[in-house]
């Protein structure tokens, strides 16, 4: 599968969540504040990126995260709604590049770039002895 045949620049997706305590720095690291953890924000950015292109993928094909260049700009407390947006900015044969942003109810809290690699799931898992 060649991503350039089916994925177009500008495709996008948006996700929304209310920050639970299980996604805070304090949940993972004792003594830290109960604010939205950077890795959890990046997870939402990756998931939004995958959502933007998933309907275009042929059966048996998935994307996996390969690059992350993210800035976490502001702290967000538990109970706050976070909206994450991903938009395709470049398409190569097997690599799709995204601009990603995250906003809380008041401001932009994250921004950056993310890349996903296109893989055939059967061939990919076979290399690990999984079927």
Q: Which residues are catalytic?
A: 38, 46, 72
Nearest to 48 by CA among 74, 11, 19, 2: 11
Please give the DSSP secondary-structure letter assigned to residue 35: B
Q: Which single residue is written with the structure tokens 């061939």?
A: 123
Instruction: Tell me the C-alpha distance between 95 and 106, whole Å.
Output: 33
Spatial CB neighbours of 10, under 8 Å, sequence gap ≥ 6: 87, 88
């Amino acid at each position: 599968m060649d991503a350039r045949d089916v994925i177009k620049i500008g495709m996008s997706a948006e996700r929304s969540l209310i920050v639970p305590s299980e996604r805070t720095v304090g949940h993972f690291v004792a003594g830290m504040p109960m604010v939205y953890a950077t890795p959890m924000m990046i997870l939402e950015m990756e998931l939004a990126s995958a959502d933007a292109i998933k309907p275009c993928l042929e059966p048996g094909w998935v994307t996996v995260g390969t690059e992350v260049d993210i800035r976490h700009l502001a702290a967000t407390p538990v109970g706050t709604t976070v909206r994450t947006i991903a938009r395709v900015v470049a398409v190569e044969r097997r690599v799709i590049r995204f601009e990603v942003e995250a906003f809380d109810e008041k401001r932009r809290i994250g921004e950056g770039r993310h890349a996903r690699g296109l893989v055939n799931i059967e061939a990919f898992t076979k290399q690990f002895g999984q079927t």
